[in-house]
Amino acid sequence: MVIEKNDRLILLTNDDGLYAGGLKTLLEVMEQFGKVVLISTVESMSGMSQALTVKTPLRVKLLEETDSRRVYACNGTPTDSVKLAINQLLERMPDWVVSGINHGANASVSVLYSGTMAAALEGCLYGINSVGFSLNNFSPAADFSACGEYIRIVMEMVAREPLPPGVCLNVNIPAASRQDIRGIRVCRQAKGNWKEEFEKRKDPMGKTYYWLTGVFKNHEPEATDTDEWALSNNFVSVVPVTVDMTAHWYIKNLKEKFGE
């Protein structure tokens, strides 16, 4: 693949591994927008957040190259993959970083744990227009056929008007048929948390171990301006996500407490 000056260069990644159906769908849509460098984690890396690999070496393998795409596998996390692609594999900075389509929603506070959104945040830190896409269906066999239309609408908007510095988009698509999806809603992240319910078991040696499970609790089910509400009501949710985690509104108050 030759990347010309006027080509739109798209870095595509995910956190469900190379063989995920969501990645395949997103690749097909992105090839309509430009030349694609896909770098995927080899295995599923769900819940890896913005983790970095610092104790073991990273390896990357070129798997496929055509006129319109290049496909790499990386043994690290989604964030490692984006860093490695930008710093070592790409001829120039990509125009977009696009991540997903995740198998499972990344609404509300799941943005903090999500490897898919971490990859978008990483692109955003490099000043690149970045978007993470997720489908509200955890199944490996999930039906992604309704996604393409909304991915195109979002990316056409990004193509027309770049995102402001430090902001990327978190797009969640309901697990519904095309005719049942009611359109796009720009939202805020719902307040909530995961109530962890560990499964406690005994191994064959009689020793205790735990599996992390968990149920999401929406703390504001009545609010109609949240991503959780949008998804529950069959809207595609679009949340602008910032890399700035400062609670700016609380700084003045905190200064007073410390006598500043």
Which residues in the 105-134 window bind its own copies by CB under 8 A? 109, 111-113, 118, 121, 125-127
Stretch that binds its own copies, among 25-33, 82-90, 96-104, 132-140 (CB under 8 A): 82-90
Tell me the C-alpha distance between 121 and 30, whole Å: 19
**Residue 241 makes contact with its own copies by CB under 8 A:** yes
Nearest residue (CB) to its own copies, 98 versus 118? 118
To its own copies, the closest distance from the beta carbon of 78 in angstroms equals: 11
**Checking DSSP bridges between strand 9-13 and strand 96-103, what pairing results, if any?**
parallel
Q: Is 254 in the site for its own copies (CB under 8 A)?
A: yes
Q: Which of 188, 221, 224, 233 binds its own copies (CB under 8 A)?
A: 188
Q: Which range of residues in 31-39, 140-148, 174-182, 238-246 is near its own copies by CB under 8 A?
A: 238-246
Binding residue for its own copies (CB under 8 A) from 32, 139, 193, 233?
A: 193
Among 149, 201, 221, 224, binds its own copies (CB under 8 A): 201
**Cα–Cα distance measured from residue 198 to residue 200, given in angstroms and rounded to the nearest whole number:** 6
Q: Kindly give the pairing relationship between strand 60-65 and strand 69-74.
A: antiparallel
Cβ atoms < 10 Å from Cβ of 25 = 21
Residues pairing with 164 in the sheet? none
The two beta strands, 184-186 and 192-195, are unpaired
Residue 105 CA to residue 129 CA, distance in Å, equals 21
Compute the least distance from the CB of residue 20 to its own copies, in Å.
Answer: 15
The residue range among 23-31, 39-47, 99-107, 138-146 that interacts with its own copies, by the rule CB under 8 A, is 39-47
Residue of 134, 128, 104, 118 whose CA lies nearest to 52: 118
